[in-house]
């Protein structure tokens, strides 16, 4: 297929001179939202570590340098592709505590009490990051465990200089949560009071102590002094995570979900992440609709079809997807070419279909996941690749810092369907597959993706952004694979989103000029333009030269693509 190169109709506000955000190397590349963390991962590659070593080191470093989403108190998903073509995934998504109930977040009036999942001790699921990283490293890492954790220990203990954006972020966190949770103020408040400013050195000594224990033995988080401390503080503050929950938690290695697109292999995360299935189902439908007919990514007819496809795919997400250990998810059907063709056949190319009409039997009353997740991509000198997305859910999770251990707890329980049987036009979903149950993993939209062609690595990508994640990831995939863009252009490409409910599309600046917006509205779409969507740190790989080209997303100020130094 030959498609003309995409030209931005409107220059997006985040597109600036990007040389410091790009890196290319035959020795590997690490791309993340924190330049410090990317440098940590690249240093591990320079020491002879592989992509899994670098991914674990980067993840622990992000727990220090990007605490709004980087974590040891949350969870996520890792997709690994080896240089010989094998692939696997590590599911370290959080779980509901054993004392959880289906209606634990409903008030006396029967309505969802969002304050209970927004912050505080009742909001967290059982953290999975430490066991997830330990599982990945034990099976596939190369360097000693302590070597890949120690850089994060040093960062937390010795401190690092704060950027302007990081200082502002931490100040906001302390203002929001410090008065409610004294341990948060102790950990992140500026010694002596006042606001942090650019250039200040922040030291997180309690977090360094916990990371030091984890460097010696990751089980200290689940059965050692860290677990004991968390159990005591939960009981003292009305939380329900116990030592039993922590000891029982297991990360799981799962077979990836796979698909094809334009002669490429698509490898991504299976349930309990919905992201991989959503991405593959969407690509299948776009193929069935004849993507090769369109001259560019901002063709109004293609934008219309992408929005219509998204409505149907996200409806299926709500209908069927949840933790596969609790519900049967029809992944094979959802990712089949035949089903995609069937769904695509119902799309009207001239007008929008109402989400209410598409949701017949699911919407029960008339008339979001948070975006504070983070993604990073890694490729090593041998062509092994890791795509990792993990989260605390909301920015800084529950707002609670565990005293003496220094880490922030997630508020991931909000990703469950919280009111059984109620799915409404504002976006609340009450379908059975993702209802709360003890020991169950909450549904996610995280979409770590790896693309290969002819048995060779081609693209590593993913993003934060709640339910926007699959659509952000799709934008990068379409840019690189369908439109032949380089890594920088594919990451800079403006993005769009629709999630079935509410029935409205959001477009970043640059997706559509006034003429395109007019045509979309003529077709019946409700469209909002503005803001930014996601943070897709990505790597394109040239198998012929064995060169990785990393592009950090310019939508965040401290991101960086780092290559190993000689």
Active site amino acids: 373
**First and final C-alpha spacing in the chain:** 40
Residues 6+ apart with CB under 8 A from 232: none
SS3 168: helix
In 224-327, which ranges are continuous DSSP H helix? 225-236, 243-248, 275-288, 300-320
CB 6 within 8 A of CB 493: yes
Token duo for residue 142: 């190369």
CA 433, CA 322: separation in Å to the nearest integer? Answer: 5
* Structure tokens belonging to residue 332: 């094979």
Q: 160 is written with which tokens?
A: 């690092």
Helix (H/G/I), strand (E/B), else coil: 524: coil
φ, ψ at 538 (rounded to 5°): -135, 160
Asked if residue 218 lies in contact with residue 134, where contact means CB atoms within 8 angstroms, the answer is yes
Of 53, 219, 216, nearest to 136 (Cα)? 53
Distance CA 347, CA 302 (A): 12
How far apart, in whole angstroms, are the C-alpha atoms of residue 394 and residue 411?
A: 7
Residue with tokens 């066991």: 131
Q: Count Cβ neighbours within 10 Å for each residue of 8-42 and write b for 16 or more, e otherwise.
A: bbeebebbeebeebbbbbebbbbbbbbbbbbbbbb
Is 352 in contact with 525 (CB distance < 8 Å)? yes
**Is residue 418 within 8 Å of residue 105, measured between CB atoms?**
yes
Write phi, then psi, for 363 (nearest 5 degrees). Answer: -75, 125
Contacts of residue 266, Cβ cutoff 8 Å, sequence gap at least 6: 258, 259, 260, 279, 280, 283, 449, 451, 477
Side by side, the strands of the sheet bearing 496-497 are: 496-497, 505-507, 527-529
562 phi, psi to nearest 5 deg: -120, 135
Cβ contact 444:504 at 8 Å: no
With CA atoms as reference, report the closest residue to 166 among 129, 196, 135. Answer: 196
Contact present, 520 and 506 (Cβ < 8 Å): no
* Residues 335/277, Cβ–Cβ less than 8 Å: yes
Structure tokens at 343: 């769904």
């Amino acid at each position: 297929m030959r498609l003309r190169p995409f030209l931005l109709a409107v220059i997006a506000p985040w597109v600036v001179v990007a040389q410091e955000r790009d890196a290319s190397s035959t020795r590997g590349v690490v791309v993340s939202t924190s330049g410090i963390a990317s440098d940590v991962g690249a240093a591990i590659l320079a020491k002879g570590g592989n992509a899994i070593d670098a991914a674990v080191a980067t993840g622990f470093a992000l727990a220090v340098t990007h605490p709004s989403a980087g974590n040891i108190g949350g969870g996520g998903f890792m997709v690994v592709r080896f240089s010989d073509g094998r692939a696997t995934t590590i599911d370290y998504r959080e779980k509901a505590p054993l004392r959880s109930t289906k209606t634990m977040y409903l008030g006396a009036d029967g309505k969802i009490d969002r304050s209970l999942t927004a912050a505080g001790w009742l909001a967290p699921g059982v953290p999975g990051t430490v066991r997830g990283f330990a599982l990945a490293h034990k099976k596939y890492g190369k360097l000693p465990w302590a070597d890949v954790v120690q850089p994060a220990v040093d960062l937390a203990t010795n401190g690092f200089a704060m950027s302007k954006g990081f200082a502002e972020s931490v100040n906001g966190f302390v203002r929001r949560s410090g008065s409610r949770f004294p341990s948060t103020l102790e950990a992140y408040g500026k010694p002596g009071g006042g606001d942090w400013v650019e250039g200040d050195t922040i030291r997180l000594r309690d977090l360094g102590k916990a990371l030091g224990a984890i460097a010696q033995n990751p089980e200290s988080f689940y059965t050692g002094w860290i677990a004991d401390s968390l159990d005591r503080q939960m009981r003292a503050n009305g939380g329900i995570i116990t030592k039993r929950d922590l000891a029982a938690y297991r990360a799981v290695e799962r077979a990836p979900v796979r698909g094809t697109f334009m002669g490429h292999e698509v490898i991504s995360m299976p349930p309990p992440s919905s992201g991989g299935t959503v991405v593959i189902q969407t690509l299948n439908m776009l193929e069935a609709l004849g993507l090769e007919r369109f001259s560019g990514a901002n063709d109004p007819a293609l934008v219309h079809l992408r929005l219509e496809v998204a409505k149907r795919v996200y409806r299926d997400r709500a209908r069927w997807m949840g933790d596969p250990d609790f519900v049967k998810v029809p992944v094979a059907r959802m990712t089949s070419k035949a089903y995609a063709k069937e769904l695509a056949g119902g799309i009207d190319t001239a007008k929008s279909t109402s989400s209410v009409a598409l949701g017949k039997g699911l919407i029960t009353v008339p008339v979001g996941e948070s975006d504070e997740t983070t993604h990073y991509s890694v490729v090593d000198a041998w062509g092994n690749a890791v795509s990792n997305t993990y989260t605390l859910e909301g920015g800084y999770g529950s707002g609670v810092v565990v005293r003496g251990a220094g880490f922030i707890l997630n508020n991931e329980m909000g990703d469950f369907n919280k009111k059984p049987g109620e799915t409404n036009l504002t976006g609340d979903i009450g379908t059975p597959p993702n209802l709360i149950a003890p020991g169950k993993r909450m549904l996610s939209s995280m979409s770590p993706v790896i693309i290969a062609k002819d048995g060779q690595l081609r693209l590593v990508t993913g993003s934060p952004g709640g339910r926007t994640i699959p659509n952000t990831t799709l934008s990068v995939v379409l840019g690189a694979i369908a439109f032949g863009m380089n890594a920088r252009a594919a990451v800079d490409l403006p993005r769009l989103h629709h999630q079935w409910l509410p029935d409205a599309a959001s477009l970043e600046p640059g997706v559509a000029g006034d003429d395109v917006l007019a045509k979309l509205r003529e077709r019946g779409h409700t469209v909002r333009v503005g803001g930014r969507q996601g943070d897709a740190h990505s790597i394109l790989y040239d198998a012929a030269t064995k060169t990785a080209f990393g592009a950090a997303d310019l939508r965040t100020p401290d991101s960086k693509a780092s290559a190993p130094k000689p």
